[in-house]
Amino acid sequence: MKKVELYTDGACRGNPGRGGWGAILVYGDKEKELSGGEPMTTNNRMELMAAIAGLEALRVPCEVTLTSDSKYLVDAINKGWLESWKKNGWRKADKSAVLNVELWKKIDMLLAVHDVSFVWVHGHTGHPYNERCDALATAFADSFEEG
């Protein structure tokens, strides 16, 4: 299995507001930058979209180390929340509906394809790939007209 590094970040101008996401795939000495966004969204949705886009860009099953500054994303996997939500009919421990359920379902499907390890990194502390992903995300968010 190919070993790939995936770095992701999401950004939002207002929450909700103009949003963007950035992802960088690293395989050997090759890098691929991806970005996108929505004119009205939330930061959490953009964090999830960055992970989805990065994983969807892989053409074959890979061993992936996904590094993100999103506790929402990383903790949902590493603390077993995603598995609990699925078992509970996409409900949280307090019985309320899981937010962004359609995105979590996509992530769940992608995790069945790829062997993904999730790593949390503190954002905006000079991590080169996190800073680059943030720049991609904010640039896309800023590409939408205000208002």
Active site residue 10: yes
* Tokens matching residue 19: 């949003």
Give the DSSP letter of residue 69: S
Active site residue 56: no
Active site residue 131: no
Active site residue 47: yes
Q: Within 13 Å of residue 52, how many CA atoms lie on the same side as its CB?
A: 19
Of 37, 47, 54, 114, which residue is the catalytic one? 47
List per-residue pLDDT tens for the chain, 147 residues long. 999 999 999 999 999 999 999 999 999 999 999 999 999 999 999 999 999 999 999 999 999 999 999 999 999 999 999 999 999 999 999 999 999 999 999 999 999 999 999 999 999 899 999 999 999 999 999 999 876
Of 33, 63, 115, 124, which residue is the catalytic one? 124
**Among 142, 127, 111, 113, CA closest to 46:** 142
